[in-house]
Chains A and B, each alone.
Chain A
Amino acid sequence: DIQMTQSPSTLSASVGDRVTITCRASQSISRWLAWYQQKPGKAPNLLIYDVSSLNSGVPSRFSGSGSGTEFTLTIASLQPDDLATYYCQQYSVYPLTFGGGTKVEIK
């Protein structure tokens, strides 16, 4: 199975800060990577697919980049509504696997 490793596991930032989350795959997954946002007590919600394609309705402050084994999710200007846990997911091979999550807290 492909292991997905996210860092950091938790981050605390102020409103307006630029925030970057990293996701590493244990082997190359080309560009078959998605990011999800999960707010407390809710189901995950698709933010980005194919590394950098924004899902419909997702604010443009979210962006993704990378290829192969290293990927990043960037929030250009952190907003109070961004309080959530973020997960990366590879869909290059089965079984589909997720990272351990990055919890974003607002200072």
Chain B
Amino acid sequence: QVQLVQSGPDVKKAGTSVKVSCKASGFTFSASTMHWVRQGRGQRLEWIGWVVVGSGNTKSAQNFRERVTITRDMSTSTVYMELSSLRSDDTAVYYCAAERGGEGVFDLWGQGTVVTVSS
């Protein structure tokens, strides 16, 4: 079955870090680019960054560059997104999404992970 399955919800204190996982199955993980996108309550979707699975190269949005680390484990077909120095406005649903065809097009999404940051 072609799918992305993300880790469960998490509650963190401000100033700490969170690490969200996303396990891929049913497609050629090594040939994909995996993105992270978040959505605050009532907010638009916001692109965080990507990892090219085959090479491990990463790129992130300027807003997150100092705080985000995106990695992948090809042995388990899993991608990770770690966000540090959490603030209350990082409270959001975090999605992983696969780019399997055209660059920048998200044709497969995970179910989302709710991250709540409390002060």
Contacts and interface: CB of A to CB of B under 8 A. Distances in A.
Nearest to A55: B107
A59 interface: no
Interface residues of A, number: 22
B80 interface: no
Contact of B110 (A34, A43, A46, A91): A43
**B interface bracket (residues with beta carbon within 8 Å of A):** 20 to 34
Contacts of B62: 95
Contacts of B104: 32, 34, 89, 91, 96
A45 interface: yes
B112 A89 contact: no
A38 B66 CA distance: 30
B106 A99 contact: no
Classify the secondary structure of A's interface with B.
loop
A94 B45 contact: no
A82 interface: no
Interface string B54-83: 000001011100000000000000000000
Nearest to A101: B44
Given A95-B61, A95-B62, A46 B45 contact: no
A49 B105 contact: yes
A98 B109 contact: no
B44 A87 contact: yes
A96 B47 contact: yes
Nearest to A91: B104
A83 to B, nearest CB: 17
A43 B112 contact: yes
Contacts of B44: 87, 98-101
B95 interface: yes
Contacts of A94: 59, 61
B26 interface: no
Interface of A: 32, 34, 36, 42-46, 49-50, 55, 87, 89, 91, 94-101
Interface of B: 35, 44-47, 59, 61-63, 95, 101-107, 109-112
